[in-house]
Amino acid sequence: DAGVTQSPTHLIKTRGQQVTLRCSPKSGHDTVSWYQQALGQGPQFIFQYYEEEERQRGNFPDRFSGHQFPNYSSELNVNALLLGDSALYLCASSPRRGKGGFPYEQYFGPGTRLTVT
């Protein structure tokens, strides 16, 4: 049973460019969340998708956008890259709700290391 997979593993971009990161959730999971983890910091919530719609968003500018496909996989797009966007981008998946409506724990992928120069 494959876990959460992300691609690419590493990416180097120049300021002003655009980037797309990809995530495939764990089998059986329909909810995907994206997090940004700067060096030495905890992950920061970007947004969450289920049923192909953005359901909740963290404090990130509109330069960050996403998409979820019918097979539950997801993309994170970042436009007009800034040096400060350099970070590890983590994708997490979970079933939308656990038994009794409680949230399942999220399972994280290995991340995509984005470097903006």
Partner 1 sequence: AQKVTQAQTEISVVEKEDVTLDCVYETRDTTYYLFWYKQPPSGELVFLIRRNSFDEQNEISGRYSWNFQKSTSSFNFTITASQVVDSAVYFCALSEARLGTYKYIFGTGTRLKVLA
Identity (one letter) of the amino acid at 73?
Answer: S
| DSSP string of 1-62, one letter each residue | ----EEE-SEEEE-TT--EEEEEEPPTT--EEEEEEE-TTS--EEEEEEETTEEEEE-S--T
By CB under 8 A, the residues from 66 to 105 that bind partner 1 are 88, 90, 92, 96, 102-103, 105
- 50 lies in the site for partner 1, by CB under 8 A: yes
Question: Applying CB under 8 A, which of residues 58, 60, 73, 75 lies at the interface with partner 1?
Answer: 58
Residues in contact with partner 1 by the rule CB under 8 A: 31, 33, 35, 40-45, 48, 50, 55-56, 58, 88, 90, 92, 96, 102-103, 105-111, 113
